[in-house]
Amino acid sequence: MANQTSSHPAHVHHHFVDSDQQFDTAKMGMWVFLVNEILFFGGLFCAYIVYRTWYPELFSEAAHELNTLWGAVNTVVLIGSSLTVAMAIRSAQKNQTKGLKINLLITIALACVFMVIKGFEYSHKFHLGIFPGEYYTFTGIEHPQANIFFSIYYMLTGVHALHVLVGIGLITWIYLRARKGEFSSEYYTPVEITGLYWHLVDLIWIFLFPLLYLIE
């Protein structure tokens, strides 16, 4: 608990003693929030485990309907965006506003690429009649419960895609603030905690990809 600062810079809210305390607080808050995100997805992963143990053949059969190549491309895209967001934070720490803005823009672009590819995957499936649950009409899979796999697939990837969209929004907001020159090595808390969020979104996809696409 630091308690002996004299200056109170503009970016420090009145209820904090100093900039360090504000930074630590924001970061910790984000970590706690991420824990709760993990549990949110945890429920879906749990449903995945239950149905995979019940219908193991279904999962290996249905996974063939997913396009491993595009899944892999998306994995690379997201990992790349995690890298650029980390570089954005680094730029902010080193006072390089230009690098910060460029890295943020690349991150946004990569996230959009991810969404576009995901969109193509979805529309291809809808075309085949692979809808969730009762609307499922595809006949290419023998298993009578094939719809369950795709229900889980749509829930997991859908909720994840929603997180990507939120991420795009957040990073755009950070970009706009960076353009106004709000960040520097003195103050880059929002960049850092948005970065943390984005890493989690990436990490969840890294679990989703093998669990859904790479079942043998």
Residues that bind another protein (CB under 8 A): 1-6, 8, 13-17, 21, 23-29, 31-33, 35-37, 39-44, 46-47, 50-51, 55, 132-135, 144-145, 147-148, 151-152, 154-155, 159
Q: What angle do CA 198, 52, 46 make, to 5 degrees?
A: 45
Closest approach, Cβ 189 to another protein, in A, equals 11
What residue type is assigned to position 54 of the chain?
W
Query: Concatenated DSSP letters for 35-93?
Result: HHHHHHHHHHHHHHHHHHHH-HHHHHHHHTTS-HHHHHHHHHHHHHHHHHHHHHHHHHH
Nearest partner of 196 among 80, 26, 42, 41, judged by Cα: 26
CB of 209 to another protein, least distance (A): 20
Shortest distance, position 60 Cβ to another protein, whole Å: 16
Give the integer Cα–Cα distance in Å for 77 and 130.
25
Q: Minimum CB separation from another protein for residue 178, in Å?
A: 21
Which is closer to another protein, CB of 89 or CB of 110? Answer: 89
Closest to another protein by CB, 98 vs 142, is 142
Residue 113 burial class via C-beta count within 10 angstroms: exposed 0-12, middle 13-18, buried 19 and up: middle
33 vs 173 by CB, closer to another protein: 33
Structure tokens at 40: 């949110």
Cβ closest to another protein, residue 9 vs residue 72:
9
Closest distance of CB 112 from another protein, Å: 25
Least distance from another protein to the Cβ atom of residue 154, Å: 7
DSSP-derived secondary structure letter, 13: -
Helix or strand holding residue 202 (H, E) = helix 189-208
**Inter-CA distances, 27 with 74, 96, 98, 178, Å:** 28, 22, 24, 19
Closer CB to another protein, 4 or 216, in the complex: 4
Between 24 and 68, CB nearer to another protein: 24
